[in-house]
Amino acid sequence: MDFFVSHERRVEIGKSLAQYNGFRVWSDEDLSTLKRLYIQGMPLDEIAVFMGRSLSSIRCKSSRLSLSTLAPRRHKFTQAEDRFIKKNYGKISTSDIAQALALPISTVRERATRRLNLKCCYHGEANPASTISDDEVELIRQLHDAGMGPTEISRKMELSLTHTKCILNYQARAKGLPDYIYDISELR
């Protein structure tokens, strides 16, 4: 006695059992919607909300349909985008860079730190811990060059004396000492 059940019959029985147990069966329209939204680049959690299904259901079905092979969901960076990130990373906030490139913040941060080997530090006004603007730093240095003492500058700018001295000694400058303080030829 040979017992054989065709594939179509097994699928039909599986669907009827799933419906009987209270699960939603994927219709052809649902599958085409999932494929369309996936290819458009919509995040899986948004697809789940849009289709009224759980995130795990969307993940499982997209995996079974091999949608990741249809269209890559990762952003391919161009040389112009890389140059823009290199030029502005650490000078303006990552969210501003992401907004300018129309990309998620995490994508920009990962590209900058892992692929472009940029440091995760902000200098000047872009630093969240910054207490004064870059223009005020330059004003402090100009006042000192004009002959005003650190104590008087700190009183006028309402800064601590220690912070004022750090600025005047270029310890608070992003790129270290400026070229005009030391002549490199004298040091050799």
Which stretches of the chain drop beneath a pLDDT of 50? 172, 174, 176-177
* Number of other residues whose CB lies within 10 A of the CB of residue 54: 11
In the chain, where are the structural domains located? Answer: 7-70, 79-124, 134-187
pLDDT number for residue 129: 64
Contact 107, 75 (CB under 8 A): yes
How far apart are alpha carbons 63 and 13 in whole angstroms?
23
What's the confidence (pLDDT) of residue 32?
Answer: 92
Over residues 61-79, the pLDDT tens digits come to 888 888 876 655 667 888 9
E strand or H helix at 59: helix 55-64
